[in-house]
């Protein structure tokens, strides 16, 4: 039943990393990077989350099944976001066939 | 078809066994209300579910009967429009969330998953009991909403009607669905863990009965889809309470976003209903053909494929909802994809009959009925996935016909077939096969009479959810109502003879159908611990070719 | 055919025939496969019925070629149907540029339809035959849906945004239209008739009865009344001439197309998108203008663009010379066209 | 438990999707809203929560090694840090926002430019942090149970599954916050 026992030092190292990244993300927010601000904030958040998942939650030492479950969850989340956005961001976009005027006139006849 | 072929009863072959009453099994292990309400035995919990969903089924059914009666006359034969709206909302909410979604997973799944894998119980027996209580609490909230005056938003809770304009009990109904959703999540979780961890030695993934593949796929949908519905309904409730608008266009919200989030769950939910039913049919077709299933791995993988693809198609509910044309095209092509694994299944079932030794007891009739109705329902789905045609039939009775063919013709036929097939295992007794065949035939005929006219009504342009309608639609509506009365009778008959058989039916014996599968190797009804010793599996699923040594 | 027992609604628009053809194709596919499955089941079920307990089934595991075949064939049919359906849909969704624009506002539980020439109708729509009509629709409360079965068109009518459908009627007559998105208590009676008339009859209908004010002039009047003119006519705010359909540069560096949605948003939520070079001075008009008034303003702004999207909107001089001397837009409803046909009007709001 | 966490991912996933969409619709209002939040408190709370995650991880380690006293200590520490987080969140931030009139539907007094969309931002702010806080409360309940069980010596290196599973839950709630913090507090830019 005893899983992988992680050395104390590693935990503290990870913790230091997390605090460091928090400081970093807060700091970055005070610099104007234009579009990159959002991206940087999210990238740092992903790094932090990965640290927690891999070390605190022992995913690094877990079976493939656990990884699959986690992967599935994120794929599903991606599906939800991607397909919803595929609508929300293309409401204004309507494809125009190149010869549509001719077609319409043909139909009208 | 085979409704008239009498005299082929397997019951006669039931092996003489010490009477059921003299042996200790899960039904008579202990008595009293408390022993039922506090049980952690998966079989007893399955019975609790059976009783509760039967109750909900007849409530939902009563609403349907009233609606069909009302639609005999274009002016509305007996109800006010407001009442009618509440009825169809209640019918939808109860049938979808409190009958169809828990039907096969919670009743047959609960009963069979441990039996089929040779386990003593589910992975988390107490969690299982908790799911039932959660389910009942959800049910009570919904019933409260109904009794306190009803809900009139439809089961879809579209905003801003549900958030701002409806002044009925939206919150308690939404809360009821929300709570029942958690029951669904917990059940799914329990099944996934059980199937992963507790299979008997030798029972590899590709020896699993196809029913379990279907249940597994269903559980995935429940786990990953239901929370989105939960959060969406929470937002609706919060919006009503605090009058803030996440979906309210008056403050810049987007009502179509609600539809996205809602259908992200509610389309896959259709597969929560139909996938287990497909699993049941796979069991029935093999058992009554005495033959291995045709294309085992194709059926197994098509279940998983359906579960995955089902999450990619929700936008086809919104082709004319103001969704962008671009998104419409994407969702259309994805929707066609889901037709393929379904078609593969139908072909494989049909091919299973080939060179079989086919007998026609009631469960098989239900199964064949399922295949027929599901084919018709599935194929009409193509119309709805086709953008140009959907732009005409969307939101009409065509849609109503389509999803009833899938959810009633498909899911309920499968459910009844499964109940008939495993009833001897559940109760230890046989029901009268003649009556059962009769009711299968009545349901098949009544069903087609009820819902086929609705396809035609739909193409003629009759919108759904209409309490009154234009006179040109009357003929078909009357036909549909007439069919519904036949269908209603068809559903009542099994209730009567099933209850009768619990006391007076002939003793069934452990394996009345001569079927394969671990569940048939233990006595009927099974003892509380299911198996005296953990069975070892040495053969493939549905090994009908081998000598039938295990049959008692 | 099938007079007493129709299988399809009237084909009364240019779109209808194409949709029906696709529908027949699908029905044929449907019937073929249903028949195939039913016959196969009957045949196999009878041929291989259990004659005695002794005869054992022959075990057949499956067949890869068969599986491939019955995967590929449905896939092919689906691909064909998808391509056919989508191309038809795209064509049917794209209104011709010459279409006459009629504005539709849905509310619980009635339809208000406003012609560009002025007449406003309730639950009834008169249109000339063989002229493309574009409906620009929005809702005052919940989601509705405008559905004309005989034309094979429908679209949800969503509060807070504009959706549109178009059709060109091919034969005169009265055709039902319905609300096809459940919208509350009286959903079932929220409908009416589209009355397709010959061009002559239509002209006569237009000139007869109480003629309301045209959309453009009503909009022009609002433009003064709401004091839009004090900024947008003086250069404090961006001018409207040739605005519609143009690309607008915003303060945050992005550009947007000035379409209906943009203009609507700018009236209701002016601070969301600020045009480059201007101050965010404009107050919100939310709650001060009705959906119909926004549509009138929109018609007016459109009329100022040289492209003249709406056929009937004549380019007006700027600032506009006002026609007529009505008392204002609030009277639009009262001046609505009385409908000649005898259709029961559902209970009011 | 991982399977349950997948459910949770989708639960928050729905909210995040809605948030992303509106943020893109009403960018400026959401950025303005973000600037109205107190980044110092947000950062401090992040640190508190990360600390609690550390103590939780150490607690699981103690359970693995069968050190009962250490386990109880770490669990209590985690509990206290969790309570601190909730306290800061509800007592300081929410109260502050409420008094300032930034509570949609309850006390909304701000009527500057584009306030409707700003209100939408605060809706999401309250929903997201509220549901997160609710998860924290559930976590606090679980921790309390664990502490009692640990005190009675229910865990051993052979049987510490409840501790590990609760740990997973706690870390998950932490991860949600790791995303909430930049999305709500930082994304508007502070320059």
Banded model confidence at residue D76, pLDDT cuts 50, 70, 90: very high
Q: Taking CB atoms and an 8 Å cutoff, what residues of chain D touch B252?
A: 22, 25-26, 116-117, 120
Mean pLDDT of B405-433: 93
- Cβ separation of A92 and C96 shorter than 8 Å? no
User: From A82, which residue of chain B is nearest by alpha-carbon distance?
Assistant: B312
The pLDDT of residue D191 is above 80: no
Q: What residues form DSSP beta bridges with B84?
A: none
The pLDDT of residue C309 is above 50: no
Among C167, C22, C34, C19, smallest CA distance to C104 is for C167
Q: Taking CB atoms and an 8 Å cutoff, what residues of chain A touch D34?
A: none
pLDDT value at residue B332: 93
Q: What's the gap in Å between the CA of A19 and the closest CA on chain D?
A: 7
Q: What's the gap in Å between the CA of A97 and the closest CA on chain B?
A: 13
Cα–Cα distance measured from residue C297 to residue C61, given in angstroms and rounded to the nearest whole number: 71
Q: What is the DSSP letter of B148?
A: T
pLDDT value at residue A98: 35
Q: What ipTM was estimated for this complex?
A: 0.84
pLDDT tens per residue across span D99-118: 877 777 677 777 666 677 78
Q: Taking CB atoms and an 8 Å cutoff, what residues of chain A touch B220?
A: 72
Residues of chain C with a CB closer than 8 angstroms to some CB in chain D = 252, 269, 271-272, 280, 286
Among B214, B341, B344, B349, smallest CA distance to B279 is for B214
Instruction: Return the number of other C-beta atoms located less than 10 Å from residue C344's C-beta.
Output: 8
SS3 sequence of B202-214: CCCHHHCCHHHHH
The pLDDT of residue B4 is above 50: no
pLDDT value at residue B21: 58
- Cβ separation of A76 and B224 shorter than 8 Å? yes
The pLDDT of residue B366 is above 90: yes
What separation in angstroms does the CA of B99 have from each of A15, B418, B490? 48, 15, 18
> How many residues does this entry show for chain D?
191
Q: What residues form DSSP beta bridges with C153?
A: C148
Nearest by CB to D6, from B223, B238, B251: name it: B223
Banded model confidence at residue A97, pLDDT cuts 50, 70, 90: very low
The pLDDT of residue B413 is above 90: yes
pLDDT value at residue C87: 92
Residue C152 contacts B, CB cutoff 8 Å: yes
Mean pLDDT of D49-65: 90
Vertex D165: Cα angle to D156 and A53 (nearest 5): 120
Among B71-80, B397-406, C210-219, the minimum mean pLDDT is found in: C210-219
Q: Taken in order D169, D174, D175, D176, is the CA torsion positive or negative?
A: positive
Structure tokens at B4: 């008239």
Nearest by CB to A95, from C90, C161, C259: name it: C90
Q: What's the gap in Å between the CA of B465 and the closest CA on chain C?
A: 7
User: From C281, which residue of chain D is nearest by alpha-carbon distance?
Assistant: D113
Mutation target vs C (from B389, B390, B397, B402; most C CBs, 10 A cutoff): B389
pLDDT tens per residue across span C97-110: 888 888 898 988 88
Residue with tokens 């027992």: C5
What separation in angstroms does the CA of A102 have from each of A98, A109, B4, C101? 9, 11, 62, 20
Cα–Cα distance measured from residue B88 to residue B72, given in angstroms and rounded to the nearest whole number: 16
Better-scored residue on pLDDT, C276 or B405: B405
Residue D113 contacts C, CB cutoff 8 Å: yes
Q: Taking CB atoms and an 8 Å cutoff, what residues of chain A touch B326?
A: 86-87, 90, 93, 95
Cα–Cα distance measured from residue B466 to residue B450, given in angstroms and rounded to the nearest whole number: 17
Q: What's the gap in Å between the CA of D112 and the closest CA on chain C?
A: 10
pLDDT tens per residue across span D120-170: 888 888 889 999 999 999 999 999 999 998 888 888 888 888 888 899 999
Cα–Cα distance measured from residue C335 to residue C183, given in angstroms and rounded to the nearest whole number: 27
Better-scored residue on pLDDT, C126 or D26: C126
Architecture of the domain delimited by C215-330: Orthogonal Bundle (1.10)
pLDDT value at residue B195: 93
Q: Taking CB atoms and an 8 Å cutoff, what residues of chain A touch C168?
A: 107-108
Better-scored residue on pLDDT, D169 or C268: D169
- CATH code for the structural domain at C100-207: 2.60.40.420
pLDDT tens per residue across span D172-183: 999 999 999 988
The pLDDT of residue C315 is above 50: no
The pLDDT of residue D79 is above 90: yes
Among B42-56, B324-338, D105-119, the minimum mean pLDDT is found in: D105-119
The pLDDT of residue B31 is above 90: no
Banded model confidence at residue C278, pLDDT cuts 50, 70, 90: confident
Q: Are C107 and C349 in contact (CB under 8 A)?
A: yes
Better-scored residue on pLDDT, A104 or C237: C237
pLDDT tens per residue across span A55-94: 888 888 877 788 888 888 888 888 888 888 887 777 654 4
Mean pLDDT of B117-123: 91
- Cβ separation of B392 and C152 shorter than 8 Å? yes
Among B522-526, C74-78, C148-152, D22-26, the minimum mean pLDDT is found in: D22-26
Banded model confidence at residue B7, pLDDT cuts 50, 70, 90: very low
Q: What's the gap in Å between the CA of D12 and the closest CA on chain C?
A: 27
Q: What's the gap in Å between the CA of D180 and the closest CA on chain B?
A: 16
Nearest by CB to A94, from C14, C93, C96: name it: C93
Better-scored residue on pLDDT, B449 or C320: B449
SS3 sequence of chain D: CHHHHHHHHHHHHHHHHHHHHHHHHCHHHHHHHHHHCCHHHHHHHHHHHHHHHHHHHHHHHHHHHCCHHHHHHHHHHHHHHHHHHHHHHHHHHHHHHHHHCEECCCEECCCCCCHHHHHHHHHHHHHHHHHHHHHHHHHHHHHHHHHHHHHCCCCECCECHHHHHHHHHHHHHHHHHHHHHHHHHHCCCCC
Domains of chain D plus CATH, in order, are: 2-186 (1.20.120.80)
Cα–Cα distance measured from residue B258 to residue C243, given in angstroms and rounded to the nearest whole number: 33
The pLDDT of residue B25 is above 50: yes
Q: What's the gap in Å between the CA of D100 and the closest CA on chain A?
A: 24
Mean pLDDT of all residues in chain A? 76
Give the domain ranges of chain C.
14-47+62-93, 100-207, 215-330
Stated pTM of the model: 0.84
Mean pLDDT of B134-157: 91
Rounded (10°) CA dihedral B390, B392, B395, B398: -80
pLDDT value at residue B116: 93
Query: Considering chain C, what percentage of its residues have pLDDT values greater than 90?
Result: 30
Better-scored residue on pLDDT, B380 or C220: B380
Q: What is the DSSP letter of A5?
A: P
pLDDT value at residue B417: 95
pLDDT value at residue D190: 66
Residue D153 contacts B, CB cutoff 8 Å: no
Q: Are B459 and B393 in contact (CB under 8 A)?
A: yes
Q: Taking CB atoms and an 8 Å cutoff, what residues of chain A touch C91?
A: 97, 100, 103
Mutation target vs A (from D182, D185, D188; most A CBs, 10 A cutoff): D182
pLDDT value at residue C340: 36
Q: Are B226 and B185 in contact (CB under 8 A)?
A: yes
- Cβ separation of A11 and D58 shorter than 8 Å? yes
pLDDT tens per residue across span B369-379: 999 999 999 99
Most confident of A32-41, B154-163, B336-345, D180-189: B336-345
pLDDT value at residue B5: 35
pLDDT value at residue D83: 93
Query: Considering chain D, what percentage of its residues have pLDDT values greater than 70?
Result: 94
Mean pLDDT of D48-68: 90
**Between A and B, how many residue pairs show a Cβ–Cβ distance under 8 A?**
52
Query: Considering chain B, what percentage of its residues have pLDDT values greater than 70?
Result: 95
Banded model confidence at residue C335, pLDDT cuts 50, 70, 90: very low
- Cβ separation of B230 and D11 shorter than 8 Å? yes
| Fold observed for domain B33-521 | Cytochrome C Oxidase; Chain A (1.20.210)
The pLDDT of residue C323 is above 60: no
Mean pLDDT of all residues in chain B? 88
pLDDT value at residue C230: 77
Mean pLDDT of B275-304: 92
The pLDDT of residue B452 is above 80: yes
């Amino acid at each position: 039943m005893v899983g992988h026992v992680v050395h104390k030092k590693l935990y503290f190292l990870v913790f230091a990393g997390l605090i460091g990244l928090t400081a970093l993300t807060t700091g970055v927010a005070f610099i104007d990077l234009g579009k990159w601000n959002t991206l940087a904030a999210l990238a740092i958040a992903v790094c932090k989350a990965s640290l927690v998942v891999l070390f605190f939650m022992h995913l690094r030492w877990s079976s493939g099944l656990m990884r699959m479950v986690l992967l599935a969850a994120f794929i599903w989340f991606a599906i939800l976001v991607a397909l919803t956005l595929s609508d929300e961001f293309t409401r204004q976009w309507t494809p125009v066939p190149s010869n549509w005027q001719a077609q319409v006139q043909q139909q009208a006849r | 078809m085979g409704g008239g072929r009498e005299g082929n009863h397997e019951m006669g072959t039931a092996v003489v066994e010490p009477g059921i009453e003299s042996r200790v099994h899960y039904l008579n292990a202990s008595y009293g209300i408390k022993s039922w309400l506090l049980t952690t035995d998966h079989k007893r919990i399955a019975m609790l579910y059976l009783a509760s969903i039967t109750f909900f089924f007849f409530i939902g059914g009563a609403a349907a009967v009233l609606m069909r009666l009302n639609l005999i006359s274009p002016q509305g034969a007996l109800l006010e429009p407001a009442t009618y709206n509440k009825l169809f909302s209640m019918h939808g909410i109860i049938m979808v969330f409190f009958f169809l979604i828990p039907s096969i997973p919670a009743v047959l799944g609960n009963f069979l998953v441990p039996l089929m894998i040779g386990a003593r119980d589910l992975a988390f027996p107490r969690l299982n009991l908790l799911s039932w209580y959660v389910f009942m609490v959800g049910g009570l909230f919904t019933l409260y909403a109904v009794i306190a005056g009803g809900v009139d938003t439809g089961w879809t809770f579209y905003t801003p009607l549900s958030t701002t304009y409806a002044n009925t009990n939206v919150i308690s109904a939404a809360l009821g669905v929300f709570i029942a959703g958690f029951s669904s999540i917990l059940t799914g979780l329990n099944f996934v863990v059980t199937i992963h961890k507790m299979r008997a030695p030798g029972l590899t993934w590709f020896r699993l009965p196809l029913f379990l593949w279907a249940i597994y796929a269903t559980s995935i949908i429940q786990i990953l889809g239901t929370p989105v519905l939960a959060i969406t309904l929470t937002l609706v409730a919060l919006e009503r309470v605090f009058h803030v608008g996440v979906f309210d266009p008056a403050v810049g919200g987007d009502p179509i976003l609600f539809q996205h989030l809602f259908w992200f769950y509610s389309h896959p939910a259709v597969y929560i209903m139909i996938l287990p039913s497909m699993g049941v049919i796979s069991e029935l077709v093999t058992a009554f053909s005495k033959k291995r299933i045709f294309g085992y791995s194709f059926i197994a993988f098509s279940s998983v494929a359906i579960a995955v693809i089902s999450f990619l198609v929700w936008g086809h509910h919104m082709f004319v909802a103001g969704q962008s044309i671009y998104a419409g095209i994407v969702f259309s092509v994805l929707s066609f994809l889901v037709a393929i694994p379904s078609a593969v299944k139908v072909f494989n079932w049909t091919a299973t009959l080939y060179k079989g030794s086919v007998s026609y007891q009631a469960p098989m009739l239900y199964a064949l009925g399922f295949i027929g109705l599901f084919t018709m329902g599935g194929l009409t789905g193509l119309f709805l996935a086709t953008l140009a045609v959907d732009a005409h039939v969307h939101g009409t009775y065509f849609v109503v016909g389509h999803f009833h063919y899938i959810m009633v013709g498909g899911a309920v036929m499968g459910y009844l077939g499964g109940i008939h097939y495993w009833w001897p295992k559940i109760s230890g007794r046989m029901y009268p096969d003649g009556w059962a065949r009769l009711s299968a035939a009545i349901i098949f005929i009544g069903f087609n009479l009820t819902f086929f006219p609705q396809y035609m009504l739909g193409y003629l342009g009759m919108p759904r959810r209409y309490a009154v309608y234009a006179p040109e639609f009357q003929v078909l509506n009357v036909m549909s109502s007439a069919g519904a009365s036949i269908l209603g009778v068809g559903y009542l008959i099994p209730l009567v003879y099933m209850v009768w058989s619990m006391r007076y039916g002939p003793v069934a014996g452990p394996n009345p159908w001569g079927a394969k599968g671990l569940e048939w190797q233990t006595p009927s009804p099974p003892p509380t611990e299911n198996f005296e010793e953990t069975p070892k599996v040495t053969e493939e699923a549905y090994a009908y070719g081998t000598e039938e040594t295990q049959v008692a | 055919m099938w007079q007493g027992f129709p299988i399809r609604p009237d084909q009364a628009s240019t779109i209808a025939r194409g949709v029906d053809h696709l529908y027949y194709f699908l029905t044929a596919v449907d019937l073929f496969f249903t028949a195939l499955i039913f016959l196969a089941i009957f045949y196999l079920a009878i041929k291989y019925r259990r004659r005695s307990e002794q005869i054992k089934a022959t075990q057949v595991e499956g067949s890869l070629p068969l599986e491939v075949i019955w995967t590929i064939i449905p896939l092919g049919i689906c691909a064909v149907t998808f391509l056919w359906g989508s191309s038809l849909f795209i064509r049917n969704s794209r209104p011709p540029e010459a279409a006459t624009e009629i504005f539709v506002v849905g509310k619980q539980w009635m339809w208000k339809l406003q012609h560009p020439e002025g007449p406003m109708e309730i639950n009834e729509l008169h249109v000339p035959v063989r002229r493309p009509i574009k409906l620009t629709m929005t809702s005052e409360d919940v989601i509705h849906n405008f559905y004309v079965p005989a034309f094979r068109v429908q679209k949800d009518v969503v509060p807070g945004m504009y959706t549109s459908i178009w059709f060109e009627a091919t034969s005169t007559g009265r055709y039902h239209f319905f609300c096809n998105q459940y919208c509350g208590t009286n959903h079932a009676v929220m409908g009416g008739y589209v009355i397709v008339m010959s061009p002559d009859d239509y002209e006569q209908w237009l000139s007869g009865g109480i003629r309301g004010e045209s959309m453009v002039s009503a909009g022009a009047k609002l433009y003064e009344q709401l004091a839009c003119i004090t900024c947008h006519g003086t250069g404090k705010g961006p001018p409207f001439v040739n605005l519609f359909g143009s690309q607008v540069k915003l303060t945050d560096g992005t550009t947007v197309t000035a379409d209906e949605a943009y203009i609507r948003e700018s009236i209701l939520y002016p601070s969301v998108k600020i045009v480059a070079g201007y101050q965010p001075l404009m107050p919100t008009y939310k709650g001060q203008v009705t959906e119909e008034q926004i549509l009138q303003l929109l018609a007016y702004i459109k009329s100022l663009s040289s492209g003249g999207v709406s056929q009937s909107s004549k380019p007006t001089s700027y600032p506009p010379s006002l026609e007529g001397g009505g008392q204002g837009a609030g009277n639009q409803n009262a001046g609505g066209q009385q409908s000649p046909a005898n259709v029961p009007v559902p209970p009011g709001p | 438990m991982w399977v349950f966490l997948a459910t949770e991912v989708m639960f928050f996933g729905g909210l995040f999707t809605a948030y992303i969409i509106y943020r893109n619709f009403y960018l400026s209002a959401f950025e303005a809203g973000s600037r109205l939040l107190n980044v110092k408190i947000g950062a401090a709370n992040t640190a508190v929560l990360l600390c609690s995650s550390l103590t939780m991880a150490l607690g699981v380690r103690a359970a693995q090694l069968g050190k009962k006293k250490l386990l109880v200590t770490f669990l209590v520490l985690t509990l206290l840090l969790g309570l601190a987080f909730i306290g800061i969140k509800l007592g300081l931030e929410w109260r502050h926002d409420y008094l300032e009139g930034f509570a949609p539907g309850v006390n909304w007094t701000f009527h500057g430019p584009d306030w409707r969309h700003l209100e939408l931002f605060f809706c999401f702010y309250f929903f997201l942090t509220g549901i997160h806080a609710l998860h924290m409360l559930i976590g606090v309940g679980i921790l309390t149970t664990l502490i009692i069980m640990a005190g009675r010596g229910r865990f051993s290196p052979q049987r510490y599954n409840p501790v590990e599973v609760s740990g997973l839950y706690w870390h998950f709630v932490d991860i949600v916050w790791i995303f909430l913090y930049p999305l709500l507090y930082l994304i508007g830019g502070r320059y």
